[in-house]
C-alpha cells in the first residue's frame, strides 16, 4: 500500500485518447458535435475506470505480490476472471485477499489495471508475465493481445526457446507456431543459443518435437509452393486454349481461318498467349515430321489440339482444326490413359476459376 501511495497518480494516468481524424471526424464535423461528444464520453469513462483502480476508492480486495500489496475491487476482478471470482467467493472475511506471487510486482499491477481498463503502453515490458497471468486467470482477451504483441518483432534467437516452452505451458498454439517459424528461419543461430542447449538437456523430447514441427511446416510450405506452380501451369494451358480458339475463329494479325483476310498491321490482341501460339501454328503447318511425331513442337501442338477437343463442347460450329476427328478418336483411348488425361482436363477447367475467365 505504501508503495502505491508513493506513486504520483497524475503521472501514472494514461494519456487521453487522441481525437479521431478519419471518416468519423469528418462526419461529426458535418453533423455537429454529436460523435465528438461520444468520443469524449468513451475517453472519460476509461479515465473513470483507471482512476477507480489508481485511487483504490473503497477497494475491498488486497492483491498480495512478492513486493507489496495492490488494492482492488472484488466486483471488477470477479467479473473479469472466473478464476478470481472463485477465489474471492471462497475467501472469508470483510477485507478479501488474493496472493499473486512468482511474477514481478509491477507485472501484477499492470495486469490488475488491465482488468479495469485496456492494454496500456507500460504493459509492453511485461508481456511474458502477462501471458502467464492471462492463462492462469483465464482471460482470453489478454492472452490474445499478448500473442499479438509477440508477433511484432518480440522474438529473438535468445528468447525464442523460452517463449516456445511458455507458449506450450500456456496453451497458446498460435505462439507455438510463430516460435517454430522463427526457429526454422534462423535455425543455425537458435541451435547455438543457450536456450536451445538447455532445452536439449532438460527436455530432449520437446527439442525433438520442435525439429519435427519445423520439418512438417517446411514440407507443408513446399507442398503449397508446388501446388501454386502446378496451378500456374494449368492457368497457362487454359489461356493457351482461349488464344487457340480465338486464332482459329477470328484470326490474329497474320494467322487465322482461310476465309478471313488478315492484315499484319492490326493492333495486338488481348490474348498474351497468341504470340507463342502463332509461331507454333506456323511451324505445325509446315513441319514434315508433323504426322510422324518426331518433332517436339509438333508434339506440343498435338497435345493442345487434343486438349481442346477434350474441353470443347461445340459440335459442328467449332473452327479449331481436327476438333471433331480427335473427339471421335478419344472414344477409343485406353482406360489407363483416360484417368491421367481426364485429370489434366479437369485441372485446366479448374484453372478457369482462378484465371476468372470463361472459355470462349
Cell of 206: 520437446
Site membership for Zn ion, residue 137 (CB under 5 A): no
CA angle 61, 63, 66 (to 5 degrees): 160
Smaller CB separation from Zn ion, 205 or 313: 313
Q: Which stretch binds Zn ion (CB under 5 A): 50-58, 190-198, 212-220, 249-257?
A: 249-257
β-bridge pairing 61-65 and 96-99: parallel
Binding residues with Zn ion: total (CB under 5 A)? 12
**Nearest distance in Å: CB 335, Zn ion:** 24
**Which residue from 269, 330, 344, 345 is in contact with Zn ion, where contact means CB under 5 A?**
269
**Which residue from 25, 52, 318, 349 is in contact with Zn ion, where contact means CB under 5 A?**
318
Among candidate residues 187, 189, 177, the one with its CA nearest the CA of residue 217? 177
**Which residue from 62, 312, 330, 344 is in contact with Zn ion, where contact means CB under 5 A?**
312
DSSP string of 169-234?
HTT-HHHHHHHHHHHHHTHHHHHTSHHHHHHHHH-HHHHHHHHHHHHHHHHHHHHHHHHHHHHHHH
**Which residue from 287, 330, 344, 349 is in contact with Zn ion, where contact means CB under 5 A?**
287
Q: What is the CA radius of gyration of the chain?
A: 35
Among candidate residues 110, 72, 109, 107, the one with its CA nearest the CA of residue 91? 72
Smaller CB separation from Zn ion, 23 or 292: 292
Report the site for Zn ion in 319-358 (rule: CB under 5 A).
320, 323
**Nearest distance in Å: CB 271, Zn ion:** 4
Half-sphere exposure of 184 (CA within 13 A, CB side): 19
Site membership for Zn ion, residue 271 (CB under 5 A): yes
CA angle 66, 67, 73 (to 5 degrees): 85
β-bridge pairing 68-72 and 96-99: unpaired
Smaller CB separation from Zn ion, 105 or 275: 275
Q: What is the C-alpha separation between 320 and 309, in angstroms, rounded?
A: 9
Smaller CB separation from Zn ion, 149 or 327: 327
**Nearest distance in Å: CB 270, Zn ion:** 7
Site membership for Zn ion, residue 249 (CB under 5 A): no
Provide the CA 6 distance to its chain's centre, in angstroms: 46
Phi, psi (deg, nearest 5) at residue 97 = -140, 140
138 phi-psi bin (left φ>0, alpha ψ -120 to 50, beta other): left
Q: Look at the block and give the residue holding cell 461445340.
A: 314
The helix/strand/coil state of 63 is strand
Report the site for Zn ion in 226-245 (rule: CB under 5 A).
none
The helix/strand/coil state of 158 is coil
**Nearest distance in Å: CB 124, Zn ion:** 58
Length of the chain in residues, anyone? 360
**Nearest distance in Å: CB 251, Zn ion:** 8
Q: Which stretch binds Zn ion (CB under 5 A): 13-21, 25-33, 94-102, 318-326?
A: 318-326
Site membership for Zn ion, residue 298 (CB under 5 A): yes
**Nearest distance in Å: CB 316, Zn ion:** 10
**Which residue from 88, 112, 252, 281 is in contact with Zn ion, where contact means CB under 5 A?**
252
Site membership for Zn ion, residue 275 (CB under 5 A): no
Q: Which stretch binds Zn ion (CB under 5 A): 20-28, 54-62, 222-230, 290-298?
A: 290-298
Smaller CB separation from Zn ion, 2 or 292: 292
Site membership for Zn ion, residue 274 (CB under 5 A): yes
Q: What is the C-alpha separation between 310 and 44, in angstroms, rounded?
A: 70
Smaller CB separation from Zn ion, 214 or 248: 248
Q: Look at the block and give the residue holding cell 506452380.
A: 229
**Which residue from 174, 297, 300, 347 is in contact with Zn ion, where contact means CB under 5 A?**
297
Cell of 307: 486438349
Largest pairwise CA distance in the chain: 103
Site membership for Zn ion, residue 69 (CB under 5 A): no
Site of interaction with Zn ion (CB under 5 A): 252, 269, 271, 274, 287, 295, 297-298, 312, 318, 320, 323
Amino acid at each position: 500500500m505504501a508503495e502505491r501511495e508513493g506513486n504520483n497518480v497524475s503521472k501514472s494516468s494514461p494519456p487521453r485518447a487522441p481525437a479521431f481524424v478519419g471518416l468519423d471526424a469528418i462526419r461529426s464535423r458535418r453533423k455537429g458535435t454529436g460523435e465528438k461528444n461520444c468520443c469524449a464520453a468513451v475517453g472519460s469513462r476509461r479515465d473513470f475506470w483507471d482512476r477507480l483502480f489508481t485511487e483504490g476508492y473503497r477497494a475491498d480486495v488486497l492483491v498480495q505480490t512478492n513486493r507489496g500489496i495492490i488494492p482492488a475491487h472484488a466486483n471488477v476482478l470477479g467479473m473479469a476472471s472466473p478464476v478470481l471470482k472463485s477465489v474471492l467467493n471462497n475467501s472469508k472475511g470483510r477485507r478479501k485477499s488474493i496472493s499473486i506471487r512468482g511474477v514481478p510486482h509491477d507485472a501484477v499491477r499492470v495486469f490488475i489495471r488491465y482488468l479495469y481498463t485496456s492494454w496500456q503502453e507500460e504493459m509492453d515490458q511485461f508481456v511474458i508475465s502477462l501471458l502467464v497471468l492471462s492463462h492462469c486467470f483465464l482471460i482470453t482477451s489478454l492472452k490474445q493481445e499478448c500473442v499479438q504483441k509477440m508477433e511484432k518483432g518480440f522474438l529473438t534467437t535468445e528468447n525464442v526457446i523460452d517463449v516456445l516452452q511458455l507458449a506450450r505451458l500456456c496453451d497458446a498454439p498460435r505462439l507455438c507456431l510463430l516460435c517454430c517459424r522463427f526457429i526454422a528461419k534462423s535455425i543455425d543461430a537458435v541451435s547455438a543459443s543457450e536456450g536451445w542447449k538447455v532445452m536439449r538437456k532438460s527436455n530432449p523430447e520437446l527439442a525433438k518435437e520442435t525439429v519435427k514441427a519445423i520439418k512438417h511446416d517446411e514440407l507443408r510450405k513446399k507442398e503449397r509452393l508446388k501446388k501454386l506452380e502446378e496451378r500456374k501451369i494449368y492457368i497457362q494451358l487454359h489461356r493457351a486454349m482461349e488464344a487457340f480458339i480465338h486464332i482459329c475463329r477470328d484470326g490474329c494479325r497474320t494467322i487465322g481461318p482461310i476465309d478471313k483476310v488478315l492484315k499484319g498491321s492490326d493492333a495486338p490482341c488481348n490474348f498474351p498467349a497468341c504470340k507463342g501460339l502463332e509461331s507454333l501454328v506456323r511451324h505445325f503447318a509446315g513441319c514434315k515430321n508433323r504426322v510422324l511425331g518426331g518433332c517436339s513442337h509438333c508434339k506440343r501442338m498435338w497435345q493442345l489440339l487434343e486438349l481442346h477437343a477434350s474441353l470443347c463442347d461445340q459440335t459442328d460450329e467449332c473452327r479449331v482444326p481436327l476438333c471433331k476427328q480427335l473427339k471421335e478418336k478419344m472414344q477409343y483411348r485406353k482406360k489407363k490413359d483416360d484417368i491421367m488425361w481426364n485429370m489434366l482436363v479437369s485441372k485446366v477447367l479448374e484453372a478457369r476459376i482462378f484465371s476468372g475467365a470463361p472459355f470462349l
